[in-house]
Amino acid sequence: MEYKQLEQLLKDMSLEEKVGQMVQLPAGMIAKEGLITGQVDNLHLPKEQKRLIGSVLGLTGAEDLREMQENFMAEHPHHIPLLLMYDVINGMETIFPIPLGQGCTFSPELVEQAARVAAKEATAAGLHVTFSPMLDLVRDARWGRVMESTGEDPYLNAELGKAMVRGYQGSGKGEALDLAKEGNIAGCVKHFAAYGAPLGGREYENVELSERTLREDYFPAYQAAIEEGCVMVMTSFNTLNRIPSSGNKWLMRKVLREEMKFDGLLISDYSAVDEMISHGIAADSREAAKLAILAGVDMDMVSNAYIRYLAELVRSGEVEERLVDDGCMRVLKLKNELGLFENPFKDGSVEKEMEILLCKEHRNLARKMAAKSFVLLKNEKILPLAKEANGTVALIGPYADTVDMFGAWSFPKKPELGVTIKQGMEAKGVVPAVSKGCFIQDEDKQAKVGQKDVYTEEELEFLMKEAVETAKSAETVILCLGEHREYTGEGGSRADITLPKHQLELLHRVAKVNKNIVTVVFSGRPVVISEVVEVSKAVLMVWMPGTEGGNAVADVLYGDVMPEGKLSMCLPRSVGQVPIFYNKFRTGRPNEEGTRVGFIHGYIDESIYPLFPFGYGLTYTDFVYSEVKLSKDTMTKEEAVTATVTVTNTGMRDAVETVQLYLWDVTGSVVRPEKMLKGFQKVSLKAGESKEVSFAITEDMLRFYNIDMEFASEPGRFVAYIGSDSSTKNGAEFRLV
Ligand code: GLC
C-alpha cells in the first residue's frame, strides 16, 4: 500500500480504531470463533473493543492463524489485518542452542544462519514478528534469563545481535530490507533497557546503573541491532534507576528515539504498562496509559491501559491525539512493510510447514551449531573417546536419555523428534550401558509447577545403586547432569546456582567406583560446578543444545567434531562472587593472583577470578601464541595500529581457535576496564600449522564516555592483548598521541 493510502486509512479510522491498533492481546482471548471467549483471564474487556485490536501473540500454526486472521478481518470495520507475534528465541520447531550457547560459538555467521532458519520456519507457521533478539547484557548468573542473552560482553552481544537481525529480517549480505519477502520476519530488540542487571539477580527487580555504565556496557548491543535495521523494540519490566521503562521518557524519547534514531514500533512487555501501578508510579491503569503514551509506547501488550483509557485520555484533552496517530501509524506501517494489506497471511502455509519444519537441512544446522556452542572446560586426556572402546561405556544421569534439552523459551510441537545422547551414541555404533541415576530436580526443590518428578526415596536409592553398578563395570562413564529447563528463563532466578543435591550425590557415588568420568553439563546459566570439575577427568558444558543435542554431544565426545566453543559468560567459583565479569576495574589495590588477603581488592575466602573466564574453551589440540607485534607503538587519531600474533597448532588434530583481541586504556579521565573485547577471529589450523592473525586498531575503538560524558578517545597508553581467552597476559603497549 502506498504511504498516502495509509495516511488516508488513518484519517478514515475512528479514535477507538486507532487506539485498537495499539493493543496486543493473547491469542487465547481471540478464539477460533473469531472473537472473545472467557477461557483465559481476558481482562474482561468489552467485545466491541477487542474486535478492534492490532495484534495477537502466543499462537502458531498456519491453519489456526489463517482462520483467526480471516475471522478477525471480517469483523474489523476497515478489515485491518492483525500483526501475529511469537517468541521464537532459539528456533521455531527446529530448536537451536539457547542464545547463551549461541554466544559461545563466537560466530556471527552461524548465528545469522540459525536466525534465518528460525525465520523461515516461523513465517511458514504464519507468524509476522518474533520477540528476538534479546540483547540484555548479563553479569549475574542468578538471573534466570541469562539463557536468552549472548553473554557478558557488549561487543560480542552487538555482533551477534546484528547477525540475528540480518537472519530474521533477511537483510544479510547488504540486501535491502524487504519484510514482505518470503522467509523474512520482523525482529524485536529487547528488553529496553538493562533488564539483565536486576539487584540480587532477582527476577523483575529494580535496576540501578549509572548513566556511564548504561552507555558503556548496556546500550551498545541494543543500538547495534537498531542500526542493523531491527524494526521493533520492546520495553523492559524493570525500573531503571527507579523509573519503569514503559513510562520512562528519558529512556524512550531521548535515548531510543532521539539518540539511537529508532523510528520503528515500540511495544511494551507483557502487562508492563499496568505494572506501573504496582511499581508505584501510576495510581491506576488510566494513569499508566498516560505515562506510557507520553513515553512513546506504541503498542500495549496485554494490559487494561490503552484499550480501556487511551481514547478517553484523548477526549479529555490530557493526551494529544497526534500521539495516538503516531503510534497507530507505526503499527500500520509495519503491517504495510510486511505486505499484510496485500497478503494478511504472509507466508503461512500448511504445505510449507510440512516441508521445512525440522527438515534435514535445518536439523543439520542445529546439530552443527550445537556442537560449536559446547565449551570443553577440562580434559585430562580422556577425550575424544574411541568408538571401539575397550570395555563398555556407561551413560549415566538424568540427561542421558531425554530429548528435553530445549531452552526455556522453546515450544516445539513435536519434542519427541529430538535426539537423545543415547540415540546419538547408538547412531555411531556405540551401545552404552544406560542408567538414569536420579531425577533432574530434587523433589523438595521443584519451585515451578508442571515439572514434578514425583518419586519416593526408595525409588531414588534404587536408581542410584543401579547407576553405581553400571559405572563399576564400565571403562568410562559419561555422566549427564544439569539444572532443569524450568529453573531457567523468565521467573527462573535462583539464589543457589549449584547442581541439584541428588545429582552431586550421584557424581560422588559413581566416582567412588570409577575415576574415568566425563561429565556433560546442561544448564541455562553458568552453574557452579567446582565439585564436578574436581571429580571429573573431563567436563563439557553444553548449555541447552536443542533438537539435535544428542547427536552433537556424541559428535564431540567421539571427536567427529572438534569442540571450539568459548565462554560467552564466565563460570563463577561460587554464587558469592556474582555478579562477576572479565571487563572489571583494577581498583586502587589490584589483586593479580586473585586470592591474596589483607588490605587488598577481593575476599578473605574466595578468589576474585571465576572458575573459567570469559572467552575460555579447550579443544582436542593445543595452540601456542607468539608475542604480540605492533606495526608501530604510537598512533594518531587518523592512523591505525596493526596488532599481530602467530598462532601455532602444536597438537595432532586440525582445529579451530577463536583468537581474541582485548584492549586496556591504562589511564583515562575516568577509570577504564582492564580489558575490553574489541575483536575476534576464528582461525582454522591444521596439526602443526602456524598462521599470522592481525587486528587493525583504529581510534574509534578507543572511544568512551569521558569525565564530561562525551564519547571520545583520549591520548595516552594502551595495551593490546591477543590470546585464547580474557585472562591472557599476552600484550604489547602503544600510545595514542
Ligand atoms: C514475556 C517476556 C518477553 C516476551 C513477552 C511475550 O513476559 O518478558 O521477553 O517476549 O512476554 O511472550
**Which three cell numbers, joined as nine digits, stand for 701?**
575503538
Task: Indicate if the pLDDT at residue 37 is higher than 60.
Answer: no
Give me the mean pLDDT over the 721-735 stretch: 98
- Residue 701's alpha-carbon distances to 49, 92, 328, 547, 608, in angstroms, are 51, 36, 39, 39, 27
- Residue 456: predicted pLDDT: 83
**Which CATH number characterizes residue 404's domain?**
3.40.50.1700
535, 668: one domain: no
Task: Give the Cβ contact number of residue 604 at 10 Å.
Answer: 7
Task: Indicate if the pLDDT at residue 39 is higher than 90.
Answer: no
Task: Give the Cβ contact number of residue 181 at 10 Å.
Answer: 16
269 is an active site residue: yes
| CA 131 to ligand 1: nearest atom | 10
Q: What is the pLDDT of residues 657-701, one digit of tens each?
A: 999 999 999 999 999 999 999 999 999 999 999 999 999 999 999
413, 555: one domain: yes
Check if 270 has its Cβ closer than 6 Å to any atom of ligand 1. yes
Cα 269 to middle of ligand 1, angstroms:
6
- Residue 392: predicted pLDDT: 86
Domain count, the chain: 3
- Residue 36: predicted pLDDT: 40
Q: Which of 62-76, 117-131, 136-150, 549-563 bottoms out in mean pLDDT, i.e. has the lowest?
A: 62-76
510, 474: one domain: yes
Q: Which one from 269, 298, 300, 665 is the annotated catalytic residue?
A: 269
Q: Which of 9-18, 453-462, 560-569 bottoms out in mean pLDDT, i.e. has the lowest?
A: 453-462
Q: What is the pLDDT of residues 468-489, one digit of tens each?
A: 999 999 999 999 999 999 889 9
**Which CATH number characterizes residue 43's domain?**
3.20.20.300
| CA 191 to ligand 1: nearest atom | 9
Report the alpha-carbon distance of residue 466 to residue 396 in Å, rounded.
10
- The residue type found at 173 is K
Domain edge (last residue) among 332, 352, 372: 352
**Which CATH number characterizes residue 724's domain?**
2.60.40.10
Tell me which residue range forms the domain holding 472. Answer: 358-561
Residue 593 lies in a domain: no
Task: Indicate if the pLDDT at residue 33 is higher than 50.
Answer: no
Cα 253 to middle of ligand 1, angstroms:
22
Q: What is the pLDDT of residues 361-370, one digit of tens each?
A: 999 999 999 9
171, 284: one domain: yes
Cα 292 to middle of ligand 1, angstroms:
18
CA nearest to 133, candidates 156, 38, 711: 156
Check if 531 has its Cβ closer than 6 Å to any atom of ligand 1. no
Residues 6+ apart with CB under 8 A from 718: 663, 664, 665, 666, 697, 702, 733, 734, 735, 736
Check if 203 has its Cβ closer than 6 Å to any atom of ligand 1. no
**DSSP E strand boundaries for 470-569:** 474-482, 517-522, 538-543
Report the alpha-carbon distance of residue 161 to residue 218 in Å, rounded.
13
The whole-model pTM stands at 0.97
Residue 477 lies in a domain: yes
CA nearest to 130, candidates 161, 168, 101: 168
**Which three cell numbers, joined as nine digits, stand for 655?**
582445529
Give the count of alpha carbons within 13 A of 126, CB side only.
24
DSSP category for residue 239: E
Give me the mean pLDDT over the 300-326 stretch: 97
Cα 215 to middle of ligand 1, angstroms:
24
